[in-house]
Every structure is written in structure tokens, then in C-alpha cells.
Structure 1
């Protein structure tokens, strides 16, 4: 059977282009590859970011890839059957645990089959709807910054607060926010009098808006909508569509994204697996 082989940075653009078909079906696959290409070009020495496929001509035709970003696992495979994807997943080292964050509904059965076969423990299950907005519509969003506040990109120092406030904060997530702020578009709303960050949103590896949060003292003032609209405009200006994952019971976020014109285009899933030998601790800066 075919073995895993690394995907060269030179082959990534061609691979990414395969996922432009049937848009926005492969939104997440397309944009995670886009992010990887940008990261490697911007910071060639970036650690623990690896892309793999199978040494198999059919796998190449299907655009099959596994992307391991530290503890996160992203997958992609065209077509309607995923036998080759299942084989590739079996070849990965799952011993440190993975956060499969996130994958489209079409991959769920295959990933769960591998998890069951390897007798892995699932530590978190999270289901969400994928909301998307075309770039042209995102660029037309109205952004009214309230008096006394300023909208501007986040800086790495903001990651401390963002990670502290994030529901899923864990070992390694601070570095995740620092890196995303450094290398991707982001948006913060700051109180001009105190320079306090009061609302924020970042862009994740797979091109989604993530980490959306409003300081408790500033809620119910529409600040979440403002930062989402502002960041969406920035992303749209790059020629990229905008996406976000929202749990079906998160009524506040659903209201924000519906108001801005986002529409549900897919269902997505998070599945975290436990490390085999206790919790793995990532070194600082990695």
C-alpha cells in the first residue's frame, strides 16, 4: 500500500487550485492551503507545520492531503469515497493527540472509523454550521466605529488577553493566537481613552473568523457586529470569501452573522483525541 510523503511548497498552489471547484463546497480545504502557502513564504522556518499526501497517482488526482499544524489536523480529498483518505489517516502518528478542527461533514464517518480502529479517546465533540459570505458582499459591509473607539489590527501583545478569555484556551493556544495575529488579518476595537481592547476577532488557519469576543463590560453595544464587519471587509478586499463556524445554539453569533448577510453552506465538526501518554506540552514559541 502507498505510504505518506511530504508535499513540497512548490506543489501546494496546484493542489490548492483543485479545491476551487463546486464553490463553496471546499471552502475550508482551499483556505487552509492558502494559509499554509502564505505562512511558509513569510516565515520559511516555521516549526511543526507539515503537509502530506499518499505516494499514489490516484491520491494526487483527488488532491488528497493531511495537514498537521502542531496539534491541529486538517484533511482534504475530492470525490465521494474516502478509502485513500482513511488509509492516509491510519499512517499518521496519533500518539500526541489531535484537534481535528475542523472538517466538513463528508469526512466525519471516515475520521471516526480511524479513531475507532485505533481505539483513541475523544475528549471533545463540537458540531457547527459553516457560514460564508462572498468577497464582493463582504467589501460592501458598512462599518460605523462608535465615537471614542478605534478599529485597528490586533498586535501580538493582545494575544495574552484573547487567549485568557477564549473558551478553549489550553497548552499551545497562546502561541496560536500570537501567530495568527502576526501572519493573518485581524481586528480589534479599542477604547481610545484607556487604549483598552474591548472586542476582537482573528482569522484561523482555515480562513475562518475565530476567537470573536467582547469584554463583559462592553457587551450589548453591537461591538461584536462591528469587529466582524470590519474584519470581513479587510478579508474581502484581499479577494477572499469570508467564513465562520457557529454552534446551532449560539443564538447571539447566529444573529450577528445573519444580519451581515452570511449564509449556511456546510456543516463542520471538531473532534479532539487524547494523547496516549498524558498531556503533551508544547515548548514556548512552538
Structure 2
């Protein structure tokens, strides 16, 4: 880890878009982890769909090929820009130094979806921040095998239709998201516009349940309207999305808040297994 009092001489250099697929290849064996293959691929695809999308891939001192150390900074629409990071090295010093470079900026950042192995590097950055109004959220990382997902049934109850969410649904999704903040509706719009999703609509066309896919590759923003709870719609959303993701050759993944026992029980009942601890610093 960086030594206190030592002159800090490091800088972040942008990784050109022409090298993003090479970075992706370095993480090709980590498709079930949160901030490896999935998040890199997510922003490669978003940039293809929306060339003006504000995202930067960065390396420490211009070196990333040897150990895969990277930082991604994305403007997802929220007040704070979102940071994702990883390294293939067991030594976290270069990653910690890369994160420390962010403290020299006037920007405020939120750190999304980093696994427990990377927490010591993140803690170096967090200690330099004003934490008076910040939240560090601890979640369990779940995965369901393709064999488990293949057995999922996805038939909706009578009178309910399942289809992709539309941009206009972002307001409804955001208004009951527990972690909404100023600007978070724009993030929800990004997820709807660029990633797969599912909404359950009643016979009047009203949205009553939904699930989206986060840049980390995991299911996210899973919600059921209070008026339609205890009908199994949450489980249906998870099963439906898991099927869609595996058909695209992806992994069925989910991040569940540690204290959310009902959600944890639902995922485990469906056959998801906990594989990691993942943190979110808002």
C-alpha cells in the first residue's frame, strides 16, 4: 500500500478506445465477477451505441497491460461520477495509487461494485474523502449456474404481460428505488436504453414490477409495487432476466444487501449461491 509521507508522483493516463478490447480480453476468465469482464464490456457496448457517452478508461502512469490495473469513470447522470476498478495483481499498491489520483480532482466520485479482495485499495481512497454524508453499502454477490437457470419457469400470472422497459418508465422505477438521489433517474434511463430489462404490466398497462441489469452485469433495481407484493412477481422478474442473460451467453448474477433477508432467501431458494462480498460507496 502507498506509504504515508512519501512524495506522490503518479498520474492517470487515458487508455485509448482502440485498446479497450485488449483490456477486456485480459479479464475474459472473470465473467462471474463484478468489476472485471462485465463492466468493461458494458461500457464498450454503451460507447458503441452512444458515441458521445461520457466514459473514460484510465491506467496508472500509462501501464495496464502487465497487470490489468484500470479505473473506469462513467458519467451515468448522477451527481457524482461512478468509478469502477480492478487489477489482476495480488499486490494492490498500484490500484491504491490509481485511486489516490482521484483525490487530486475537485470531482466527487462513487465507487461501485468492488469485490472484497479490492477493499484495502478502496479504503485508502475512502480515508482521504469527507465521509460525513457518504454511505458504504455491503452486499452479497450471488450467481446461478446455467443449469439452474435452464429449469426456471417464466410464465406470468393471468392478466400480466412481461416486456422490456421503456425510457418513459424510468420515473416510476426511480421513485421507489431506495438508493435514488438527484440525477439518478438519468442513470435509470441509461440502464433501460442500453441494457436488457423486464417490466410486468397489468391488464391496464400499468407497470407493477421490474428488474434491470447493472453495468457490473448483475440484476439490479428489482422492485414490486406494494399493491402487487406476495404474488411471486419478484421471483418471476429474477427468473425471466436470468433466462435472457444466459441466452446472451452471460452469467446470472445478483448483488443483495446483506441485511435484506427476504431477498437473500428468495435468491437462495431459486438456486443462486453466494460467491463474494461486494461494496458500493455512495
TM-score (norm 2): 0.89
Corresponding residue of 1:284: none
For the pair 1:67 / 2:72, whether they are aligned, the reply is: yes
Q: Distance in 1 between matches of 2:31 and 2:226?
A: 37
Aligned equivalent of 2:94, options 67, 84, 92: 84
CA RMSD of aligned residues (A): 1.7
For the pair 1:53 / 2:59, whether they are aligned, the reply is: yes
The 3-state SS of whatever aligns with 1:81 is: coil
The 3-state SS of whatever aligns with 1:62 is: coil
The 3-state SS of whatever aligns with 1:108 is: helix
TM-superposed deviation, 1:150: 0.4
Corresponding residue of 1:31: 38
Corresponding residue of 1:40: 47
TM-superposed deviation, 1:46: 1.1
Q: Which moved more, 1:244-253 or 1:154-163?
A: 244-253
Corresponding residue of 1:245: 255
Corresponding residue of 2:243: 233
Equivalence map 1:100-179=2 (5 Å): 100-116=111-127, 118-121=128-131, 123-179=134-190
- Paired positions, count: 267
Q: Distance in 2 between matches of 1:97 and 1:17?
A: 30
In structure 1, stretches of 5+ residues that fail to align are 273-286
For the pair 1:6 / 2:8, whether they are aligned, the reply is: no
Q: Which has the higher contact order (CA 8 A, sep 6+)?
A: 1
TM-superposed deviation, 1:39: 0.5
For the pair 1:19 / 2:30, whether they are aligned, the reply is: no
Deviations 1:181-240 (A, max 9, x none): 011000011002x11111000011111111000000000010000111111111111000
Q: Distance in 2 between matches of 1:195 and 1:265?
A: 38
TM-superposed deviation, 1:120: 3.0
The 3-state SS of whatever aligns with 1:28 is: coil
TM-superposed deviation, 1:6: 1.0
The 3-state SS of whatever aligns with 1:233 is: helix
Deviations 1:250-270 (A, max 9, x none): 111112211221111110111
Deviations 1:93-148 (A, max 9, x none): 553321111211111111112222x3432510110110012345434421121000
In structure 2, stretches of 5+ residues that fail to align are 1-8, 76-80
Q: 1:240 to 1:22 in 2, by over 3 A?
A: closer
